[in-house]
A and B are shown apart, each in its own frame.
Chain A
Amino acid sequence: MEKILQVKDLELSFNTFAGEVKAIRGVNFDLYKGETLAIVGESGSGKSVTTKSIMRLLPEHSAEFKNGEILFGGRDLTKLSDKEMQKIRGKEIAMIFQDPMTSLNPTMPIGRQLTEPLLKHQKISKAEAKKVAIDLLRLVGMPKPELRMKQYPHQFSGGQRQRIVIAISLACNPQILIADEPTTALDVTIQAQILELMKDLQKKIDTSIIFITHDLGVVANVADRVAVMYGGKIVEIGTVDEIFYNPQHPYTWGLLSSMPSLDAADEKLYAIPGTPPDLLSPPKGDAFALRSEYALQIDMEQNPPFFKVSETHYAATWLLHPDAPRVEPPATVIERMKKFPGSRYYEGSRV
């Protein structure tokens, strides 16, 4: 498969009054053409900062690339000027955000907000842009699009606004769409509709999607692959099946155990103990070690490298080292692993 974006050894810090916040501490991943890569992880793990650094939307005066590169179309995005980035933003890489209520300019008719990227990036007339904008609105399922072009954001519901934001982001058929928790602010039924819409549109325009979410249920629904982030790093990455049914990193185990399951309504919901690491002075070694009951001595001293589980599955935990002791994952995780061919608990009867 064709790699469309490569993030290599990315390190990024914010220079603040309190000191250097090491928000991204060595992130590696590739994005393939046409796939959906979900990024999950708890609050503050660096999901938004990672994607915003791809778009170069972080505050210039405080955010600083420390290391690594972001390769896109043969160029390293970390090195481009803002002028050059303007030609990429909205045209080749587009983004949608969490809160549709605040994502649209309240004093500009949505028609103008829709035609803006078209007029900016494509050589078309205003009249043509308007036609395309109306088509886009129709595409995202907005009834009577001609009439709605002149209306302002406050005249739309939250779900409709997110549809408009999606229409804006898809205006120039971007190669990559970054969606930062696009459904978190919406209620469950609208959430499902928006997810369906995104899947539909992805097929139509063949775009790659980076999908940030807290909701593992959503991940199972939309993603092809999953990257699990913790403390400014990706700790495990693999296909959806690999992450859900053969997880290797203790943090992934924790995440999956804290996911409510339908058939176990009476189970107590698990919460990962402790708090995320302080990124002003991140711990040596595995950042999750202090919260993990599976931590080894070496976790406290040395940063684990990525260990290969399969061609598509990597995890950064010393537990995968040949010399590491064998530990038993939590019971719920073992239950999952029983269903996965290739896992050490596989029982052969996969559903």
Chain B
Amino acid sequence: MARYIGKRLIYMLITLALIATFTFFLMKILPGSPVASADKLSPEQRAIVEARYGLDKPLPVQYFDYMFGLAQGDLGISINQFKGANVTDVIQSRMGPSAQIGFQGMLLGTFLGILLGMIAALRQNTWVDYSSTLVAIIGISIPSFVFASMLQYFFALKLEWFPVALWKDGFMSSVLPSIALAMFPLATAARFIRTEMIEVLGSDYITLARAKGASGTEIAFKHAFRNALIPLITVLGPMAVGILTGSLVVEQIFAIPGIGEQFVKSIMVNDFSIIMGTTIFFSVFLIVVILIVDILYGIIDPRIRLSGGKS
């Protein structure tokens, strides 16, 4: 197992280096420079600013400077969005709210999704099943900004149950954004668990369990559930991506001082180091999620646990 994880870590580093390289050059190809937006500067002043951030050096030198810094954990300095602040510090200071709504959203969504999918599978082709499918379709097809705005309009503006925006009321501020983020994992989990449960319930070992005299509940929870859960783990990755991209919009709508909101703004003002830093941060996050998913896979599924241990 240790060797397996070690191997995976090396792959992760390679992946990261590739992502950093691509993003770096993509950014350089894009029109506009962080300094250009400050068009009140004279050419001399501009040159001074550019020199300060190393933007005057040839591209390969800039690239190696950046990668060298990255290797040491240095993400550089914000150029205009947070003038002069260390990018690592910026990300750290903004991680709290993002992590909170992301985590809450994921937990809520997965939990409700599993519940919904289970009920749908056990009551296959009844109205319960059809309504759960409807919820899943809505969850997947309605973009999170529409959903977030609707929540904000009804539950904050009209009913005034929750604060409209800003991150001022602790947990209460996090409720609506978390629910908005939960929709995608909810829909994904519900669809997945339903399909898997139906498949598992039709398998030979379930028939054998019934032949042993197991009751409906025992079949569903003791025998089928765990087996239906395994494939769900594989979509935890895409679900995390959904949360991440969702957070870009949702944080914007609820004016939450999180990483997503900051990322969107940094793109608007062309803050090269923040964009790079956040992209790399997101990548690390996703790569780690995928690793965790693979490890979890082995814990739940004894067949994989064993072969993973041997290799």
Contacts and interface: CB of A to CB of B under 8 A. Distances in A.
Interface of A: 55, 57, 82-83, 86-91, 94-97, 99, 102-108, 116-117, 120-121, 152, 154-155, 165, 168-169
Interface in B172-231: 203-205, 207-216, 222-223, 226-227, 230
The 4 closest A-B pairs by CB, nearest first: A90-B213, A90-B212, A102-B204, A89-B213
Contact of A57 (B205, B207, B222, B306): B207
- Looking at chain B's contact residues, the main secondary structure is helix
B99 interface: no
B227 A116 contact: no
20 contacts: A55-B211, A87-B213, A88-B213, A89-B213, A90-B212, A90-B214, A102-B204, A103-B205, A104-B208, A105-B223, A106-B227, A106-B303, A107-B226, A107-B301, A107-B302, A108-B223, A116-B214, A152-B302, A154-B302, A154-B306
Contacts of B5: none
A89 B211 contact: yes
Given A97-B207, A99-B204, A103-B208, A117 B213 contact: yes
A103 B211 CA distance: 11
A107 B210 contact: no
Contacts of A94: 211-212
A136 to B, nearest CB: 13
Contacts of A96: 208
B222 to A, nearest CB: 8
A120 B208 CA distance: 14
B226 A97 contact: no
B234 to A, nearest CB: 15
Given A102-B203, A152-B306, A165-B208, 11 more contacts: A55-B211, A89-B210, A90-B214, A97-B208, A103-B208, A105-B223, A116-B214, A120-B213, A120-B214, A152-B303, A168-B208
Interface of B: 203-205, 207-216, 222-223, 226-227, 230, 300-303, 306
A152 B305 CA distance: 11
Contacts of A55: 211
Given A107-B301, A107-B302, A86 B214 contact: yes
A86 B213 contact: yes
A102 B202 CA distance: 11
A99 B207 CA distance: 12
Given A152-B302, A155-B306, A97 B204 contact: yes
Contact of A106 (B208, B211, B302): B302
Interface centre among B204, B222, B226, by most chain A C-beta atoms within 10 angstroms, is B204
A107 B231 CA distance: 13
Nearest to B224: A105
B306 to A, nearest CB: 7
A57 B210 contact: yes
A102 B210 contact: no
B205 A102 contact: yes
B212 A116 contact: yes
Nearest to A55: B211
Contacts of A117: 212-213
B212 A120 contact: yes
Contacts of B211: 55, 57, 89-90, 94-95, 169
Contacts of A120: 212-214
A105 B213 contact: no
A105 B214 contact: no
Contacts of B216: 82
Contacts of B230: 107
A152 B210 CA distance: 19
Contacts of A107: 226-227, 230, 300-302
